Chain A
Amino acid sequence: MLRIFFAILTGLFGAALLHLIIILSLPHFTGKDAATRVEAEGDLNNFTLLGGQYDEAGLANGDPFVRTAVCSFDVEDAPVHFTAKGNVPFWSIAIYDSASNEVFSMNDRTSVGGALDLLAGGPIQLTDLRKNLPPELQQAILVEMARPDGYAVLRTLAPQASFDEAARNFLTEAGCEQFTAR
């Protein structure tokens, strides 16, 4: 009888250990995390609009008034330049790394002149750029990526149905392109 008790006790210790291992390692292999889903949306360096219903990659706007576009990018070869402008009541962008941790986020109040002009790059790329800043980047916000791959989420709001078209235009015209100095 005592031995079955010890067997269960050992099992409980094992369960606690396994629980820790599962919790700590799960983020690395779920295959369902936000970064993987954004990557499955489509091509690199291209903003994809999300709909109200979950798409094949498993992403949706979530909030009935929010319009979202996502872009998966990689700054290994060149920095990525995010641009957008339009007449919307609110916009915000968040840059995440491949582990879905927030790297940077901002909204239209913190932008220059209400337009999105943001450049994400690796530390060495940004140091090179800062030494001789190209004129088209004079007003850009430079964001340093510790790891080369990540994704960006650009959101805007359509508080009333009449804002839908402006929101759609804002998101479809948004750019997420590799930056090459001219």
Chain B
Amino acid sequence: MFRFPLFILVTLIVAFGGGIMISLYALDATQGFGAIKLGAWEAFPALQTVDADPYAKSHRARAGKLLYGSAEGLTFTASVDDDGARLNAGCRYRISGQTPPARLWTLFTADNGGNPAAVKTGHPSALNSWTVLRQPDSSFSIEISAAAQPGNWLALPEAGTFRLVLTLFDTPTAGSSGVIDLAMPKLTKTGCGNA
């Protein structure tokens, strides 16, 4: 005779436990639909607008970040390299190529929350379009590793996974639907450990 309350209990536990867990999971896993993916780089041009989907609105209400307006800039984030492997501070990477047209851009190594990563004091953790060293054809190549490199170098945190955040300021990319044709710089792994 106690089986009926037990079934109700099971139903309630599954409903509330499952509902809350999948909601939290969904909000942590993604910033919503409407991402544009260019190689390893991912951006959400409509995240700050009223047209953002319900998942995006929930995510941004929970994260509480000051987002860039469409005339300000567009932020691209990479958490994997071009082969799809998670970016890890134990490895070395190279960013090469060109950014889509923008008046200025900034690039920094970030922790998994998208905030600037803690690197050793004095080590460079950010570059921008004014400070980067370029090839004669205005393309650039940036080495990302824990040990110092000649040329453009971005330092990495001690250990663990990280992200790269590339922000284009005053870019037609943010408002254009032709964004899919744009080329982002390549992000390749050049080695891990001492190899």
Contact = CB atoms under 8 A, between A and B. Distances in A.
A binds B: yes
A109 B60 contact: no
Given A22-B20, A89-B104, A92-B69, 8 more contacts: A7-B10, A7-B14, A15-B17, A27-B60, A64-B126, A94-B71, A107-B72, A107-B169
Interface string A96-135: 1001111011110110000000000000000000000000
Interface string B54-74: 110110111111111111110
B61 A62 contact: no
B104 A90 contact: yes
Nearest to B75: A63
B182 to A, nearest CB: 19
Interface residues on A, range: 35 or more
B79 interface: no
12 contacts: A7-B14, A14-B14, A15-B19, A18-B18, A33-B60, A62-B114, A63-B116, A65-B106, A102-B50, A110-B71, A153-B66, A157-B104
A15 B22 contact: yes
Contact of A100 (B11, B48, B72, B130): B48
B2 interface: no
Q: Is the interface of B mostly helix, strand, loop or mixed?
A: mixed
Interface of B: 3, 7-8, 10-20, 22-23, 26-27, 48-50, 52, 54-55, 57-58, 60-73, 103-104, 106, 108, 114-116, 125-126, 128-131, 165, 167, 169-170
Contacts of A90: 103-104, 169-170
Contact of A11 (B18, B49, B125, B128): B18
A68 interface: yes
A18 B19 contact: yes
A22 B62 CA distance: 12
A105 B18 contact: no
Contact of B48 (A16, A59, A66, A101): A101
A6 B6 CA distance: 12
A94 B69 contact: yes
Contacts of B73: 92
A32 B61 contact: yes
Interface of A: 3-4, 6-8, 10-19, 22-24, 26-27, 30, 32-34, 36-38, 52, 58-60, 62-66, 68, 70, 89-90, 92-96, 99-102, 104-107, 109-110, 153, 155, 157, 159-160
Contacts of B66: 34, 38, 59, 62, 68, 70, 153
Contact of A157 (B54, B67, B70, B169): B169
A135 to B, nearest CB: 27
Contacts of A24: 54, 58
A61 to B, nearest CB: 9
A64 B71 contact: no
A155 B71 CA distance: 12
Most buried by B among A7, A14, A99, A102: A102
B108 to A, nearest CB: 5
Given A11-B12, A90-B103, A62 B65 contact: yes
Nearest to B46: A102
Nearest to B9: A7
B170 A17 contact: no
Given A11-B18, A12-B18, A19-B22, A4 B103 contact: no
A52 B115 CA distance: 10
A40 to B, nearest CB: 10
